[in-house]
Structure 1
Amino acid sequence: MKIKHFNYWHLIIFGGCFLLTAIFFLIINISISNADIKQIDFTIANGESSQEISQRLAQNGLIVSANFFDFYLRLQGKDKNIKAGHYQFVPPLNIKQIARLITSDYKLNEQDIFLIKEGETLLEIEEGLKVKGLLAKDQSLTQWRLQEVQDKLGNKLLRGASLTNSLEGYLFPDSYHLVSGLSDKEIINLILNNFAQQIPSGWLDQLEKDGKNFYDILILASILEKEVQLKNDKRLVADILWRRLENKMPLQVDATLCYAQSKDFRNCLIDQAVLKMNSPYNTYLYKGLPPTPINNPGLESIEAVLYPLPNDYWYYLTDRQTGQTIFSKTYKEHLSARQQYLTK
């Protein structure tokens, strides 16, 4: 009878696998703690991969290994369940806990979710936060100035802006997880971090090549957000507004008059007196752009300004009944459209 000799290679392989498994389970359960850090704000953008998120978590000192975190997500089948959003991580946390927090099996408290809608103004957002109890009555977002958040936005995003302006335009429309008790500074930092992540770097590089200011783009995008509803119409109107600026024509947009009256759009009424209002936001009286954005636009409107759709129209209006944008090539056609669509 033959006696099988024990294969030492099998022992080495088995031992190696056991050791790697032990190391893996050790690492995913290690909690990183820093007595100097009470909370870390972390934003996950839409479309961001598990590898990119893992790398940023490691860079922020939240996990010991980006590779192990990414592997753990894939092993658990959670790499496709990551929720874009804004998180406040309070160390110590381990890989398993963070994975649970950012994937779909973690249920957020609905009271802590705050939605900024496309086209909402700074004042409207502040009032919404206070109504929901997420911002103290004695705190304010409207008092903050761009010079106080330069480190969050950087020079490219602030190019063309007066640093004494408010944060209008930079509060990115999105759903935010805001636990009660945050200060106005903490809320602003979360929202601005998201804004900086959402704007593609390629857009900023192209603007720099073209010699254009991002702030001008933001102002025009905020106008589009209130003037036009559909993506293709936004691109058409963007081209119209760019050509009006190039030809030294007044923009003549009603949305800026609403903002001039009260910094919000909830009770906007435009009459002959408002049309004559002496305000830098009166684009009927003053040529060029208004001094600041008039709300906080979404990516679709920003992209429309960056990539307008060339056309031969000079005028447009919105059908109050259907929301459809009606375009005209001549002022005579525009007057006829006004008679047809605005006098119903």
Structure 2
Amino acid sequence: MKKKSLIYFIVTCSLLVVIALGIGYWYIQNFAQKTIHLSTPEQTFVLKRGTSVASLAKQMEQEELIADASLLPYLMKINPELQGIKAGTYSLATDMTVEQFLQLLVGGKEVQLTVQFVEGKTAKDWLKILQEAPNISSTLMDLTLDEIAQKLNIDGSLEGWLYPDTYNYTNGTSDLAILERAHQKMKTTLQAIWDNRDDDLPYETPYEMLIMASIIEKETGVDAERAKVASVFINRLRYKMLLQTDPTVIYGMGERYTGKLLSKDLRDATNPYNTYIIKRFPPTPIAMPSLASLEAAAHPDKTNYIYFVADAQGGHVFTTNYKAHQKAVSEYWRLIREKQQ
């Protein structure tokens, strides 16, 4: 009798354990399929390096993704594929379940943030954009432009050496890392274009072509005009003429420029960027040139133009002699006066 009772007891306990395990498993699987709560449609979740499972459960509760995350450790234990979560910043989706949330952390696919560097802007402009970009680790704020150039192994000015583009990054990426990518892309692009440039261009180095591209960038925003603008400057160099381009003077004036260029500014011999006085090129680029301007500098149109002036319509009038140029200038000011009336 005692033996039968013992067997009955063992069987009963075993059944109770199986039932308990089954109920526990059901609760865990039910927990896995619960939908996390998002407070905003584009909510992100930041998982710090070294976060334990218990800390993750607590963080989920604190951020109100789920009311009770106490079953999280058990869910991860019975599902080994949900272990191995990776630190990072993740974009959460609407109707995402707890299981899908963990799969996201295990996959390590972080949300991609972007910063856009616009052509025609200066290094100073770009650094301000970096400072205002979200979730970037700032390491350059207290450095000068020359010191930043040294960190990028640039021998000279930072200006012109960064490629205009939209750059993706993840949370915590350093500002230097982004600039390194922009610099490497400009170096590679410049060299490729230099290697395929037209013959007999009056450049001594790829850097001079980079300077030319920056001038073209500042002179026109019309793609169809870039190669024509380049031809003017190429012709002037060939004829041993001064470049005489206003944007270089303005760049050299820095904060002294108030929006209007005066005759005395064009006579200022102390401005190293004053191409109304200096021969050939200014000492550095004056902006970050686009691919279109680099290509124009390497493949200028073949023209006889040596002058151009704005046409008050968004483009320019190109001329081959000073008399025609003066006529185009007079017409420009006539149109400006008409618009102001």
> Alpha-carbon deviation of 1:273?
2.6
The reply to whether residue 195 of structure 1 matches residue 196 of structure 2 is no
TM-aligned CA distance change 1:209 to 1:273, over 3 Å: closer
> Alpha-carbon deviation of 1:328?
1.2
Q: How does 1:256-271 map to 2 (within 5 A)?
A: 256-262=248-254, 268-271=259-262
Counterpart secondary structure, 1:176? strand
- Aligned residue number for residue 166 of structure 1: 157
- Aligned residue number for residue 249 of structure 1: 241
> Alpha-carbon deviation of 1:263?
7.3
Determine which structure has more spread, i.e. the larger CA radius of gyration. Answer: 2
> Alpha-carbon deviation of 1:245?
1.1
Out of 262, 279, 284, the position equivalent to 1:287 is 279
Provide the rounded CA distance (Å) in 2 between the counterparts of 1:337 and 1:309: 21
| Aligned residue type for 2:152 | V
Counterpart secondary structure, 1:123? helix
| Bigger mean CA deviation after superposition, 255-264 or 271-280 | 255-264
Q: TM-score, normalised by structure 2?
A: 0.59
Provide the rounded CA distance (Å) in 2 between the counterparts of 1:291 and 1:113: 32
> Alpha-carbon deviation of 1:232?
3.0
Provide the rounded CA distance (Å) in 2 between the counterparts of 1:208 and 1:331: 28
Residue pair 2:190, 2:206 contacting (<8 A) in 1 also: no
Q: What is the CA deviation profile of residues 289-329 of structure 1, one whole-angstrom value per residue up to 9, with x for unaligned ones?
A: 00100000011000001001111211101223x21111112
| Aligned residue type for 1:295 | A
- Aligned residue number for residue 123 of structure 1: 124
| Aligned residue type for 1:120 | K
Q: TM-score, normalised by structure 1?
A: 0.58
Out of 144, 147, 163, the position equivalent to 2:147 is 144
- Aligned residue number for residue 339 of structure 1: 330
Residue pair 1:145, 1:166 contacting (<8 A) in 2 also: no
Overall identity of the aligned pairs, in %: 30
Provide the rounded CA distance (Å) in 1 between the counterparts of 2:159 and 2:223: 22
Q: Which runs of 5+ in 2 are unaligned?
A: 1-105, 337-341
> Alpha-carbon deviation of 1:216?
0.6
Provide the rounded CA distance (Å) in 2 between the counterparts of 1:264 and 1:310: 37
- Aligned residue number for residue 206 of structure 2: 214
TM-aligned CA distance change 1:298 to 1:204, over 3 Å: same
Provide the rounded CA distance (Å) in 1 between the counterparts of 2:191 and 2:283: 24
Counterpart secondary structure, 1:290? coil
Provide the rounded CA distance (Å) in 2 between the counterparts of 1:301 and 1:264: 27
Out of 249, 252, 265, the position equivalent to 1:274 is 265
Q: How does 1:47-62 map to 2 (within 5 A)?
A: none
What's the C-alpha RMSD, in Å, of the aligned pairs? 3.1
| Aligned residue type for 2:262 | D
TM-aligned CA distance change 1:260 to 1:141, over 3 Å: same
Q: What is the CA deviation profile of residues 63-120 of structure 1, one whole-angstrom value per residue up to 9, with x for unaligned ones?
A: xxxxxxxxxxxxxxxxxxxxxxxxxxxxxxxxx959xx6xxxx863xxx321111111
Q: How does 1:31-42 map to 2 (within 5 A)?
A: none
Q: What is the CA deviation profile of residues 9-64 of structure 1, one whole-angstrom value per residue up to 9, with x for unaligned ones?
A: xxxxxxxxxxxxxxxxxxxxxxxxxxxxxxxxxxxxxxxxxxxxxxxxxxxxxxxx
| Aligned residue type for 1:185 | L
State how many pairs are aligned.
Answer: 226
Q: What is the CA deviation profile of residues 149-182 of structure 1, one whole-angstrom value per residue up to 9, with x for unaligned ones?
A: 34xx8xxxxxxxxx2x221111100001244544
Q: How does 1:78-157 map to 2 (within 5 A)?
A: 108=112, 112-132=113-133, 134=136, 136=138, 138-140=141-143, 142-144=145-147, 148-150=151-153
Residue pair 1:245, 1:288 contacting (<8 A) in 2 also: yes
> Alpha-carbon deviation of 1:233?
1.4
Residue pair 2:160, 2:210 contacting (<8 A) in 1 also: yes
Counterpart secondary structure, 2:317? strand
